[in-house]
Amino acid sequence: MKSRPLLSAVIATAMLALSLPGALPAVAAPAPDNWQKVLEEANGQTVYWNAWGGDARTNRYIAWVAEQMQADFGVEVEHVKLDDTSSAVARVLGEKQAGNDDEGSIDLIWINGENFAAMREQDLLFGPFADALPHFALTDPDNNPEVVTDFTLPTDGYESPWGKAQITFYYDSAQVDAPPQSIDALLEWAKQNPGQFSYPRIPDFTGSTFLKQALIELSDQDDALYQPVEDSDFAEITAPLWAYLDELHPHLWRSGRSFPDSGPNLRTLMSDGELSLAFSFYPTDAAVAVMEYELPESVRSYVLEDGTLGNVHFVAIPYNSPHKAGAMALANFLLSPEAQARKQSLDMWGDRSVLAISQLDDSDQALFEQGEQHPSALPVDALSNTLAEPHPSWMTALQDAWLERYVVN
């Protein structure tokens, strides 16, 4: 199995690959708090938005956003589709090392977690800008710390939230009577139903999130997971996880000798009947797939009894973006009730809103009404128990350890 390079390797490659360009003229960044000036500067700009492009639903939503931005603000949005966000991080770092501080190739990045931490550490982000976005107040940040915290780290205005994700399991009720309700129960279920479950290959973010979910449930040292990994005994804390995976893998799809590429690939295996239990990082994923005839009507969604891992995803602006005004206009539009409601609609993507919907006016609240509950969707209150993301350093450490343990080079 061939793995993609992790962040440190990608960054090193980018730094070596880029040569130093000639001097470039300085471009003054717009003042985020002068919003009218921002919109005036944004008009006519092209924003290169680097965002994961591995799912058709996400891509169609971004395409809709691009249409609205052109029509409403005169801003052209180019979706630069990524397989791995770390490649965009590496590009910005490489440009900084090459002295390109004004004419970067990326204007906006869909980002969170270890990639945000890496960019902040290397001073690769423009900001703070999020607080100045007119629609940011609609998230009620004073009462919703999740929109200003990324994997335990304060965003300090260098990221703007635009969606929520949480691990959600789904199963074919025509084949499975009682799906497992915990990570331990999942192991026993897999033994009784060999080949019917799997998780995406690391370092895919959905697969990496599964590792963190399992570690949280299996570890009795939860406090350590919310501190930098170097402050803890990594081997001791993760020993139960590796023992668990060693026991689980022989009972997975293809006996754990290979893994699906991504969450959407996991869904495809479910559609083809190769799996009867799967999971997604998008709670409405299964319901949307049923509506689009990608999964059978017998599919049902659920979360584990003690909760599942969830987070907020953000957009950020590289420090050397030449189109910061357009990027801010785009980030603000992504927080509008119109854009958030369209994103949450099962007819578009189904990604959860970051807005404090109950505090919107009646007409805006009405945008989020989706009618009768889809039978394949989660109950309304099912996501009330959300497990917090560990410190971002744990993600990278777990990925490295998994690849060293399970990948034959």
Judge whether 292 lies within some domain: yes
Both 279 and 399 in one domain: the answer is: yes
Residues 147 and 251 grouped into a single domain: no
pLDDT in tens, the chain (409 residues): 333 334 444 334 333 333 333 333 334 577 877 999 999 999 999 999 999 998 899 999 999 999 999 999 999 999 999 988 999 999 999 999 999 999 999 999 999 999 999 999 999 999 999 999 999 999 999 999 999 999 999 999 999 999 999 999 999 999 999 999 999 999 999 999 999 999 999 999 999 999 999 999 999 777 899 999 999 999 999 999 999 999 999 999 999 999 999 999 999 999 999 999 999 998 999 999 999 999 999 999 999 999 999 999 999 999 999 999 999 999 999 999 999 999 999 889 989 999 999 999 999 999 998 777 889 999 877 888 899 999 999 999 999 999 999 996 5
Q: Sort residue 127 into left (φ over 0), alpha (ψ -120 to 50) or beta.
A: left
Q: What pLDDT does residue 373 have?
A: 82
Which is it for strands 153-154 and 149-150: parallel, antiparallel or unpaired? Answer: antiparallel
Predicted confidence at residue 409, as pLDDT, reads 55
Domain match, 227 and 326 both: no
Q: Do 197 and 153 lie in a common domain? A: no
Whether residues 211 and 269 share a domain: the answer is yes
Q: Are residues 35 and 94 in the same domain?
A: yes
Which range of residues forms the domain containing residue 85?
9-163+313-370
153 sits in which H/E element:
strand 153-154
C-alpha distances (whole Å) from 271 to each of 116, 267, 280, 293 are 34, 6, 14, 9
Residue 216 included in any domain: yes
Q: Are residues 159 and 172 in the same domain?
A: no
Count how many domains the chain has.
2
* pTM attached to this predicted model: 0.87
**For position 164, what pLDDT does the model report?**
95
**CA separation (Å) from 216 to 21, 235, 409?**
46, 15, 29
d(CA 333, CA 356): 16
249-306 pLDDT per residue, tens: 999 999 999 999 999 999 999 999 999 999 999 899 999 999 999 999 999 999 999 9
pLDDT at 408: 65
d(CA 247, CA 239): 13
Q: For residue 122, what are its two tokens?
A: 């290397």
Are both 235 and 279 inside the same structural domain? yes
Residue 261, in any domain of the structure? yes
Q: What is the CATH number of the domain that holds 34?
A: 3.40.190.10
